[in-house]
Homo-oligomer: A and B are copies of this chain.
């Protein structure tokens, strides 16, 4: 036990609220804790930040260790520092939200976690620590971000139909959207490009596939364009 300080110190952790979308609704990735405290309870993936490690790196590392996910879009959104949020001792957690394409990540079990499972965002089990509150904040944050930045695309496959995009926005915002007006707005922004001769087939009329155009977005942003849906 060689690390000694003049004053007591809080421990520092990161937690990740990982969002996914399966065409039906918004999903959240939770792990079942394999260790005390809250052993067996569902929780956000996360863990301690090493003393020589960047916060975002810690978030990526823990996410990878506990769920197998890597190369994901991460955004820090708030620090949680309530005095008794961890029963062991004072722990301050920096929370990130992650956006990922659901089916890139059939999650696997791992080190500290018994298993990692996707839950419907509005049917969550009882959670460890203050993770319920963290998720609440993450949802609020996501809802306000998704309308002014084109981050929703990270939740969809690289090629998607406008119907899928609309479904995503309806899930995140929690309300229905008029199909004609939605399509008009999306196409007017010219941020998505139709893929020639690529369609999603089913037992109905094939749907045009699109992809998001990040370069176009950078261009537009430079000339003062403001994303809005």
Chain A residues within 8 Å of B, Cβ to Cβ: 1-12, 48-55, 76, 78-79, 81-83, 90, 92, 94, 144, 148
Chain A interface SS verdict (over half)? loop
Contact residues in B for A81 (Cβ distance below 8 Å): 49, 54-55, 94
Q: How far is the CA of A94 from the CA of B78 in the complex (A)?
A: 9
Query: Quick one: which of B10, B48, B148 contacts A49, CB cutoff 8 A?
Result: B10
- Report the Cα distance A144→B15, complex, angstroms: 25
Smallest Cβ-Cβ distance to A12: which chain B residue? B10
- Residue of chain B at shortest CB distance from A52: B83
Nearest B-chain residue to A144, judged by Cβ: B148
Residue of B with least CB distance to A5: B3
* A80, closest chain B residue (CB): B55
Complex Cα distance A60/B144, Å? 27
Instruction: Check if A51 sits within 8 Å of B9, measured CB to CB.
Output: yes
**Copies of chain A in the complex:** 2
Q: How far is the CB of A151 from chain B (nearest CB, A)?
A: 14
A229 to chain B, nearest CB (A): 14
Q: Which residues of B contact A11 (CB under 8 A)?
A: 9
Q: Closest CB of chain B to A57's CB: distance in Å?
A: 9
Which residues of B lie under 8 Å from residue A50 when comparing CB positions? 7
Q: B5 near A51 (CB under 8 angstroms)?
A: no
List B contacts of A49 (CB < 8 A). Answer: 10, 81, 92
Given A6-B1, A12-B92, decide whether A54 and B83 contact each other with a Cβ distance below 8 A. yes
Q: Say whether, besides A12-B9, A76-B78, A90 and B1 are in contact (CB < 8 Å).
A: no
A-B contact pairs, 9 of them (CB 8 A): A1-B5, A1-B6, A2-B4, A9-B12, A49-B92, A53-B83, A55-B79, A55-B92, A92-B92
